[in-house]
């Protein structure tokens, strides 16, 4: 999911395929290692040493996924150095937020609706807001897809769709909890996909499907059951959640994204707010409500695995729901503030960011095949400021 799913999902840009997959590869390889250290320092120490095992490796994958979500918000507008600096800061803040939410507040979030998707989306959106480019229209003709690039992006979509049940259930307790998480994710994704296809045709002027909706909104169901996946959501409940997630995601792509760019000055390249942000918040709300309604009659002996504090009598189910809601607020706060600070750090003119005229272009960072435009042609600029930025 990390290397193929996220990597190919971002290849929709017509001249940014090398960078989408290549920088995804670079960031993931770095973030996996840095996350192992940061998560170990914050909440993985045993006897003064960082414990490394299968679970810590999976958790590092989760952290990396959050960084790649943020990458989607600034895709095509940042240099590799900026992305690595962003990874250093975001991984550190992710580990801190994860510790507060899961260990201090005692919230449940096995599939990461809050800690992975909500955090990564709003962190990336704040970075994109600070890095706003008023003259990005100079590269507008490259900020679009072609037939074959959309086809490559669908590879990422299908890959993510197939493996999302295992992603959400990876760190849940073996047995009923893991089976329940996989099942809830499976049915949520299926219902979300149907909602996406139906609504995509409805909101189009001519009734045709929009490939952007299919590539992205069809995955929102997996995001929305990340928190409540291991809870007694039931297949019917998970299908309702998936349907709602697909609906808000399609509507977000159609109506909200233009507003974010025009009114709030947030240039969200991949639409992470629609795929990860809003569905992540929905998932957190569903998790809070489901936790507040938990009873021993429904969960039986499984209550000890899902809600150990409720099982032991330390807290009431209603208070567990409050914990979940507070965790969402904390996650949003850390993500927004952290993204704001990171954005200002990345805005320093020392990282070799591409000028407005050649955003969404592989040629500035990659050797391209002979039939592509030469590097000199790609880097020809019209203003002294752009020339100075390229030289830097």
Reading the chain (392 residues) residue by residue, the pLDDT tens digits are: 899 999 999 999 999 999 999 999 999 999 999 999 999 999 878 888 999 999 999 999 999 999 999 999 999 999 999 999 999 999 999 999 999 999 999 999 999 999 999 999 999 999 999 999 999 988 888 889 999 999 999 999 999 999 999 999 999 988 899 999 999 999 999 999 999 999 999 998 888 999 999 999 999 999 999 999 999 999 999 999 999 999 999 999 999 999 999 999 999 999 999 999 999 999 999 999 999 999 989 998 889 889 999 988 889 999 999 999 999 999 999 999 999 999 999 999 999 899 999 999 999 999 988 755 445 555 555 555 655 665 55
| Distance separating alpha carbons of residues 11 and 1, to the nearest angstrom | 15
The total of other beta-carbon atoms located within 10 Å of residue 352's CB is 16
DSSP string, 321-336: HHHHHHHHHHHHHHHH
| DSSP H helical ranges for 99-175 | 119-130, 147-169
Query: What pTM, to 2 d.p., does this model score?
Result: 0.93
Strand partners, 50: 45
Question: What does the pLDDT read at residue 320?
Answer: 95
SS3 103: helix
Q: How far is CA 307 from the centre of its chain?
A: 26
Both structure tokens of 344: 């200002």
Find tokens 């929905």 and name the residue: 282
Q: Which helix (H) or strand (E) holds 49?
A: strand 49-50
Both structure tokens of 141: 């003709």
Find tokens 């490796």 and name the residue: 57
Please calculate the CA angle 25-26-30 and round it to the nearest 5 degrees. 115
292 neighbors 307 (Cβ within 8 angstroms): no
For 275-306, b where at least 16 C-beta lie within 10 A, e where not — what string? bbbbbbbbbbbbbbebbbebeeeebeebbebb
Question: What does the pLDDT read at residue 205?
Answer: 81
SS3 50: strand
The total of other beta-carbon atoms located within 10 Å of residue 152's CB is 18
Packed helices 119-130 and 317-346: angle between N→C axes, nearest 10 degrees = 30
Q: Which residues are CB-contacts of 82 (< 8 A; sequence separation ≥ 6)?
A: 74, 346, 351, 352, 353
Question: What does the pLDDT read at residue 46?
Answer: 83
The domains located in the chain, with CATH, are: 5-391 (1.10.3430.10)
């Amino acid at each position: 999911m990390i290397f193929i799913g996220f990597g190919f999902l971002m290849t929709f840009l017509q001249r940014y395929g090398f960078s989408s997959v290549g920088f995804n590869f670079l960031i993931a390889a770095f973030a996996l290692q840095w996350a192992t250290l940061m998560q170990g320092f914050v909440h993985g120490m045993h006897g003064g040493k960082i414990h490394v095992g299968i679970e810590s490796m999976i958790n590092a994958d989760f952290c990396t996924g959050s960084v790649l979500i943020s990458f989607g918000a600034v895709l095509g507008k940042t240099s590799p150095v900026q992305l690595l600096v962003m990874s250093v800061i975001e991984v550190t803040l992710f580990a801190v937020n994860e510790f507060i939410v899961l260990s201090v507040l005692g919230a449940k979030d096995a599939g990461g609706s809050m800690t992975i998707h909500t955090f990564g989306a709003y962190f990336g959106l704040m970075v994109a807001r600070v890095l706003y480019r008023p003259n990005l229209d100079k590269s507008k003709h490259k900020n679009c897809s072609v037939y074959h690039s959309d086809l490559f992006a669908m590879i990422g979509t299908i890959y993510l769709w197939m493996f999302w049940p295992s992603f959400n259930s990876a760190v849940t307790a073996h047995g009923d909890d893991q089976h329940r998480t996989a099942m809830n994710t499976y049915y949520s994704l299926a219902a979300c996909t149907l909602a996406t296809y139906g609504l995509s045709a409805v909101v189009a002027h001519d009734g045709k499907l929009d490939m952007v909706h299919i590539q992205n909104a069809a995955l929102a169901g997996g995001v929305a059951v990340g928190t409540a996946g291991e809870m007694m959501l039931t297949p019917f409940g998970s299908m309702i959640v998936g349907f709602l997630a697909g609906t808000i995601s399609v509507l977000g792509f159609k109506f909200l994204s233009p507003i974010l760019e025009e009114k709030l000055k947030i240039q969200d390249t991949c639409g992470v707010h629609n795929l990860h942000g809003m569905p992540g918040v929905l998932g957190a709300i569903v998790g809070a409500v489901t936790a507040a309604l938990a009873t021993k009659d429904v969960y039986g002996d499984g209550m000890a695995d899902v809600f150990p504090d409720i099982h032991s009598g330390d807290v009431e189910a209603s208070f567990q729901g409050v914990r979940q809601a507070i965790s969402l607020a904390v996650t949003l706060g850390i993500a927004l503030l952290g993204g704001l600070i990171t954005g200002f750090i990345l805005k320093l003119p020392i990282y070799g960011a591409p000028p407005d005229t050649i955003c969404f272009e592989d040629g500035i960072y990659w050797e391209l095949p002979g039939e592509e435009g030469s590097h000199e042609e790609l880097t020809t600029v019209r203003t002294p400021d752009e020339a100075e930025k390229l030289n830097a």
